[in-house]
Chain A
Amino acid sequence: MRKRERFFLTFFSFLFLSALLFFVAKASWFSGIRAVFESGLKPFQQAVSSFVQFPQNFSDIEKDQLRKEIAALQKKIADQKQLEKDLSALKDQFQITYPKSEILLPAKIIGVPRFLPGVSAPSIFIIDKGEKDGVKVRHAVVVKDTVVGKVTKTSKTMAVVTILTDSSSIFSAVTQSFVLGVVRGVDGGNIVFDNILSSQKVSIGEIVVTKGDINEEGIGYLPNLVVGKIISIDKTQSSLFQMVKLKSLLDFSSLSTVFVIVGYE
């Protein structure tokens, strides 16, 4: 009976603490305390993210020292490749004139949780920039002039980006031939261009761009950001709308750096 009482006491104590933390964490003054802990966690998150993206081969077990040297060199090569990738991403982005580089904030991806890593399409990214860097919810995220998604959650030092292939992503877009529609993410990492009347002409290979949904605070998708290209059109005689599928020009699984649009000019 005493053991059972101890269990009840322990459970309710921690449940009470969790609930208290849940409500206290919503206060604005708590975000500074949270930022301290997040800053402590971030290096580990980055290390895990780097490790799982660049697996090392430890198959040589005969010479222990040689194996360690090989592992160290492989890590250096992986770090070098990562650095080259980051520099290349930055260089590519800042050669593009739209969006302007002055309104772009580069952010490293430190987490890409998904069901089958390397197989399933990701639906969110966790980036290493947050409120203290000027990131807000609904800020658009791009690579070059192509849409990645929108910021959906922020803390002081990190943010969650929901990719446009996620089923919660929905925004208006237009084709090169000025056909207006709605872009929606669907399960499985696909994108659908919806609400296109059957009578409207769209063609495979056509590029779809954002219409723009900037709000009064200057937050949202800028117009004319590339969403993707049309890969299939499904028209049926009896249906009012045609089903158009898009494919993004980006491979979301291979991204390591993205850019948050923190302004609108």
Chain B
Amino acid sequence: MQYFSWFLFLTISVFLEAAWITLPITLCLLLVFYIMKKDSTVFFMAFIAGILLDLARVGSLGQSSIFFLTCLFIVFLYEKKFEIKTYAFVFFSSFLGSFVYLFLGGYNDIFLQSLVAAFLASIVFLIIRRFSRLTPFV
């Protein structure tokens, strides 16, 4: 049930990113999901989400997946060194990931967008943390 709801949120974020908003919400969601669960299933989700995003944005297939997987892997490497289930880490990792993603994508207002994306990721992290005990959906 939990994985299904995550897939649903990711699918919605992919379509929003393709049709409406340039904020890297898919990347931020993946980072939050991984930080919360530390589950290798998130790699599979990152792969699928990246493919869907590339299809919807007429991009080179596989490039978003490679980026998402690399970001998640870097977080995985830091797991042993830092406590990653904190707001500070969520904010910092989302900010850095978004910054590089937007820079490579050639978008405008990179700093501001990364800041907004990091705040959004922190809010999602807060919501998931609060509600994960109350419901099996997150």
Would A153 and B58 count as touching, CB distance under 8 A? yes
Using an 8 Å CB-CB cutoff, how does the interface string of B15-47 with A read, 1 for contact, 0 for none?
111111111000000000000000010011011
Tell me, rounded to whole Å, the shortest Cβ–Cβ distance linking A13 to chain B.
8
Per a CB cutoff under 8 Å, which of B15, B59, B69, B76 touches A45? Answer: B15
Would A187 and B108 count as touching, CB distance under 8 A? yes
Chain B positions within 8 Å of A22 at CB level: 60-63, 66
B interface majority secondary structure? helix
How many chain A residues have a CB neighbour from B under 8 Å? 45
**Which A residues, 50 to 67, have Cβ-Cβ distances below 8 Å to chain B?**
52
Would A25 and B113 count as touching, CB distance under 8 A? no
A positions within 8 Å CB-CB of B: 6-7, 10-11, 14-15, 17-23, 25-26, 34, 37-38, 41, 44-45, 48-49, 52, 110-115, 117, 120, 123, 126, 130, 153-155, 158-160, 167-168, 187-188
B positions within 8 Å CB-CB of A: 15-23, 40, 43-44, 46-47, 50-52, 55-63, 65-66, 69-70, 72-73, 76, 106-109, 112-113
Query: 29 A–B contact pairs at CB < 8 A?
Result: A6-B40, A11-B72, A14-B43, A14-B65, A15-B69, A15-B70, A15-B73, A17-B47, A22-B61, A25-B60, A25-B61, A34-B61, A41-B52, A41-B56, A45-B15, A48-B19, A48-B20, A49-B19, A112-B20, A113-B18, A113-B21, A113-B22, A115-B109, A115-B112, A120-B109, A126-B56, A154-B58, A160-B57, A168-B106
